Structure 1
Amino acid sequence: MTKRDVKALNKFKGFDKTKRADFTGNKNFKNTRKKRNFAENSKFNTKASLRKRAAGTSAEVETANSVGDDGDYVKPENRVDRLRGRNAVNEALSAGRPIEKLWLNKNSTFDIGLQRLISKAKAAGVVIVETDTKALERLGGRNHQGIVAQVAVKDYLDFDELLKKGTSDEQIVESPTDEISSAVSADTQKQSSRQPLVIMLDQINDPHNLGAVLRVADCLQATAVVVSKHRACTLDATVARTSAGAIENVDCCKVTNIGQAIEKLKENGYWTIALDMNGENLYSSTALRKLVNDKLALVIGNEGAGISPSVRAKCDLVLSIPMYGQVNSLNASVALAIVSYEIERLRNFAQ
């Protein structure tokens, strides 16, 4: 043993026991700490995934604790499109206020009062979903009494009223006396004689998508937007914010079956056009140019699955937008804007 080794050994013996343990087992200590942190994180992630699964995966639950366009958190109890508690829901049903969906705590004691409330909701055609306490707290806050209702921020247009729209063009009988009134009358005449354009949404689940669709519909002065009653988002506060005010200017209809609604539109002189990646090219379709000046209904499918086969089969024409990149689909509202403005171009600006 050299003098250098002896000096190093004496220095090591002079270390404190704690320092000596850290010095000799530093590598093992670090590995143990990493393993402990990993185990804690894995345990936390597992609990978080279980809570998310228990809360459900529906669009309503995912957007219950919504964030506004400006990034401000919106507490569930402060949302204008939610009713919580038996009395609030009962009063809304008694007043005839449209209720989109009703969430019930599956662990609640179903007494006579609650059973009557459920029967009244079913008689009104309300969709009822059973969930757990955590999901209800995310939807309506803590004081929910086992029941939370989703109400529309705007009343729906009856589908029969939609069918009456566009059946006969309004005639203007005024005889303008100057150039200004003549120009205004011409613009009004042009708007009143526009052929109807109905937008139908087949199970659109994203409220931001629905809000963007309403913005497009407002810009186009579309006749109405038709949404599905089941497995689709509704006119909630998120949709209202995303639409940037367009929800106030666009008529919306809610139907139980999109396929049956298509049949009724066809009986009233509408041509129905589906948007699908396997359809005819939008810009080279001769069928579209033959139908473009008639009453039209555009059918947009789900964000992931697209249009259901049964709905697609009922449509008169299937169109697609040419894709040149790696992504093979567009957002529903973007696809709607492209196709609808091409129809507008063919109707009013094509030579």
Structure 2
Amino acid sequence: MAKGERKRALRGRAGRMKGGRGSGRATSGHVRLWGRHAVEAALKNPRRSHRKLWATRDGIESLDGELPADFPVEYADVTDLARLVAKDAPHQGLVLECEPLDDIFLDDVLKGDDPARPLVILDQVTDPHNVGAILRSAAAFGAAAVVTQDRHAPPESGVVAKSASGALETVPWVRVVNLARALDEMAEAGFWRIGLTGEGEATLAEAMPAGKVALVLGAEGEGMRHNIEAHCDALARLPISSAIESLNVSNAAAIALYAVATRTS
């Protein structure tokens, strides 16, 4: 089906106009996503259970593909949609309420047999924009998963999804109770754990092995906790200019993932 035909089919199948407005907040236990890339990726993800889509007609037209004939859609204007999302959030005419993704277990990720695909471990990175951006870089450079500790990471949310630009639906996000224990399990699975810190004596290139890599990053300012550093096989730094003290954690993750993807030995 040509793209124009897809859009016509989508508009024709979008569901009947429903009266009333949304409540302004997601139903308890559900997730509200917004923005074209985040919503489109969620709609295409077979692991997602969807509840309702609020949209402008232009927002519906921007989607690539068709909605099921009985998909619950409520048409709304831009002002109405703004009430459904975070203040000043760029919803692009699309707001989707859905179920959270099912839990992904570390054991399932560690069974992967492609040694070129790294893991990204985040220690107390709580900013949802940073976590979303790291998910996006993880998708771009083929990371096997992003791993966080349950208590010190943001929940699945529209902010994370928008910053991830669709990667929330494609990159496994593993939440663990004990990050140090998870790092031990990674070592047992053959991963070389590299903690990124400005105090590392070796550069990342010098610390990079040929086999499986787990990149460990801490929160901005505080960095990794000492216990997490102690569970790394090596501590390494990015060779940045002395003119700047440090990089944003999402930028550091992107550079480190690129370095893993382009290693030659």
TM over 0.5: yes
* Structure 2 residue aligned with 1:265: 186
Q: Is the 8 A contact 2:204 2:237 kept in 1?
A: no
Following superposition of structure 1 onto structure 2, how do residues 76-95 of structure 1 map, counting pairs within 5 Å? 77-79=24-26
Q: Is the 8 A contact 1:225 1:250 kept in 2?
A: yes
Q: Is the 8 A contact 1:79 1:237 kept in 2?
A: no
Report the RMSD for the aligned CA atoms in angstroms.
Answer: 2.8
Which residue type is aligned with residue 194 of structure 2? I
- Taking structure 1 as the reference length, the TM-score comes to 0.47
Helix, strand or coil at the partner of 2:229:
helix
The 1:250–1:339 alpha-carbon spacing in structure 2 relative to 1, beyond 3 Å, is same
Deviates more, 1:256-265 or 1:325-334: 325-334
Q: CA deviation at 1:306?
A: 0.6
How far apart, CA to CA, are the structure 1 residues paired with 2:132 and 2:156? 9
* Structure 1 residue aligned with 2:145: 224
Helix, strand or coil at the partner of 1:230:
helix
Q: Which runs of 5+ in 2 are unaligned?
A: 1-21, 31-85, 87-97
Structure 1 moving runs of 4+ over 4 Å: 80-83
Following superposition of structure 1 onto structure 2, how do residues 155-234 of structure 1 map, counting pairs within 5 Å? 155-166=102-113, 193=114, 195-234=116-155
How far apart, CA to CA, are the structure 1 residues paired with 2:143 and 2:238? 20
Which residue type is aligned with residue 239 of structure 2? P
Q: Which runs of 5+ in 1 are unaligned?
A: 1-74, 84-138, 140-150, 167-192
* Structure 1 residue aligned with 2:247: 330
Following superposition of structure 1 onto structure 2, how do residues 106-121 of structure 1 map, counting pairs within 5 Å? none
The 1:309–1:78 alpha-carbon spacing in structure 2 relative to 1, beyond 3 Å, is same
Q: CA deviation at 1:78?
A: 3.0
More helix by share: 1
* Structure 1 residue aligned with 2:100: 153
The 1:206–1:152 alpha-carbon spacing in structure 2 relative to 1, beyond 3 Å, is farther
% identical equivalent positions: 33
**Count of residues in correspondence between the two structures:** 181
The one of the two structures with greater contact order (alpha-carbon pairs below 8 A, sep at least 6) is 2
Which residue type is aligned with residue 174 of structure 2? C
Following superposition of structure 1 onto structure 2, how do residues 1-351 of structure 1 map, counting pairs within 5 Å? 77-79=24-26, 153-166=100-113, 193=114, 195-282=116-203, 285=206, 287-288=207-208, 291=209, 293-347=210-264
State which structure, 1 or 2, has the greater radius of gyration over its C-alpha atoms. 1
